[in-house]
């Protein structure tokens, strides 16, 4: 991986803990929170492909009513996998990381390398204005919704400018942008024969428009001045599991090295510290 200098990544051992003073270190919480088995890594990387296969099955059988739900869960699988790849939580090599970012992003017509660069910046400087990924947190609800269509293009352009002097990174960014255009052209060319590819492309493009609202504005809404108040955490039995533990956003910000499938046990171990600090998780089903 080639993260920006000084930004958090498991590829750079020895970085200081990002936890709020007074919270335990990861060593104190348990080293098992960083362990990801090969099976877990394979499952996480394969999950988006499974949802794509389910889309093909639904479209080919005419079950169009199910397609929005399939695409919704595809996005959850993609965000989870991309998150863990970016943070080096799956134990991938540099080459495998680059290809995983490209392929995972390609499934939903996004740039995985732009996401890596902007997400590292988000963890490093939020809520300062040098964080383009965090912009929707500073917007109104309506502003975050309206920001949807320009959010991903703006992040790509920011990443492109920031990668000046890194030709390898720029090649990945250029290929990812080219793939989006190619996929749209191919889907349009196939539309006289089948509407499934064009429907898929339009759905994933529209799905990307909800990122500012669902992944930035709502998790960080009314953020405070400390790391413990800069984002929220949702606890429950059903919703967190359906969202593949992405609802534990505060835990992720405090300990970004912990993979998504370990965020639930992390939250349980942090419960007494949160209570002592006056952090009140939002309860959901």
Distance, in Å, from the CA atom of 16 to the CA atom of 222, rounded to the nearest integer, reads 27
Q: Which residues pair with 234 in a beta bridge?
A: 282
Query: Contact, 105 vs 111, CB < 8 A?
Result: yes
Q: Is 135 exposed, middle or buried (0-12, 13-18, 19+ CB in 10 A)?
A: buried
**124 falls within a domain:** yes
Percent of the chain topping pLDDT 90: 81
**19 falls within a domain:** no
pLDDT surpasses 50 at 68: yes
Greatest mean pLDDT range, 17-31, 176-190, 271-285: 176-190
Q: Which residues contact 121 (CB under 8 A, 6 or more apart)?
A: 4, 7, 130, 131, 132, 133
The string of pLDDT tens digits covering residues 123-171 is 999 989 999 999 999 999 999 999 999 999 999 999 999 999 999 999 9
**15 falls within a domain:** no
Total domains in the fold of the chain = 1
What pLDDT does residue 20 have? Answer: 56
Length of the chain, in residues: 285
Distance, in Å, from the CA atom of 112 to the CA atom of 115, rounded to the nearest integer, reads 5
Peptide bond into 127 cis (omega under 30): yes
What pLDDT does residue 13 have? Answer: 32
Read off the pLDDT of each residue in 24-35 and give the average, rounded to a whole number: 91
Helix%, strand%, coil% for the chain, nearest 5: 65, 0, 35
Around Cβ 193, how many Cβ atoms within 10 Å?
8
**3 falls within a domain:** no
**20 falls within a domain:** no
What pLDDT does residue 226 have? Answer: 87
Strands 234-235 vs 282-283: parallel, antiparallel or unpaired: parallel
The string of pLDDT tens digits covering residues 100-117 is 999 999 999 999 999 999
What pLDDT does residue 102 have? Answer: 98
Domain, as residue range, for 263? 26-283
Read off the pLDDT of each residue in 166-193 and give the average, rounded to a whole number: 97
**21 falls within a domain:** no
**5 falls within a domain:** no
Read off the pLDDT of each residue in 249-278 and give the average, rounded to a whole number: 93
What pLDDT does residue 21 have? Answer: 58
pLDDT confidence tier of residue 238, bands split at 50, 70 and 90: very high
pLDDT surpasses 80 at 261: yes
pLDDT surpasses 90 at 247: yes
Describe the crossing of helices 112-125 and 67-86 by its angle, rounded to 10 degrees. 60
Inter-CA distances, 99 with 75, 96, 225, Å? 18, 5, 37
What pLDDT does residue 225 have? Answer: 85
**76 falls within a domain:** yes
Around Cβ 256, how many Cβ atoms within 10 Å?
20
């Amino acid at each position: 991986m080639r993260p920006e200098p000084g930004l958090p990544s498991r590829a750079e051992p020895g970085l200081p803990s990002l936890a709020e003073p007074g919270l335990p270190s990861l060593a104190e919480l348990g080293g098992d929170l960083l362990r990801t088995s090969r099976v877990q890594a394979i499952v996480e990387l394969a999950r988006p492909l499974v949802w794509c296969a389910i889309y093909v099955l639904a479209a080919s059988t005419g079950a169009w009513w199910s397609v929005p739900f399939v695409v919704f869960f595809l996005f959850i699988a993609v965000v989870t996998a991309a998150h863990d790849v970016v943070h080096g939580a799956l134990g991938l090599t540099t080459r495998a990381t680059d290809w995983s970012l490209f392929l995972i992003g390609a499934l939903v017509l996004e740039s995985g390398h732009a996401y890596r660069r902007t997400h590292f910046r988000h963890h490093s400087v939020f809520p300062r204005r040098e964080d383009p990924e965090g912009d929707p947190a500073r917007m109104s609800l309506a502003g975050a919704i309206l920001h949807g269509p320009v959010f991903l293009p703006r992040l790509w352009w920011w990443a492109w400018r920031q990668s000046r002097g890194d030709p390898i990174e720029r090649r990945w960014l250029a290929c990812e942008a080219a793939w989006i255009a190619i996929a749209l052209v191919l889907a349009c060319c196939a539309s006289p024969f089948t509407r499934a590819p064009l429907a898929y492309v339009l759905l994933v493009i529209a799905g990307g428009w909800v990122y500012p609202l669902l992944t930035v504005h709502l998790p960080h809404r009314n953020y405070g001045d400390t790391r413990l108040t800069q984002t929220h955490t949702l606890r429950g039995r059903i919703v967190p599991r359906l969202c593949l533990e992405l609802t534990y956003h505060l835990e992720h910000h405090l300990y970004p090295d912990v993979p998504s499938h370990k965020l639930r046990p992390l939250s349980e171990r942090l419960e007494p510290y949160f209570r002592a600090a006056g952090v009140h998780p939002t309860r959901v089903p």
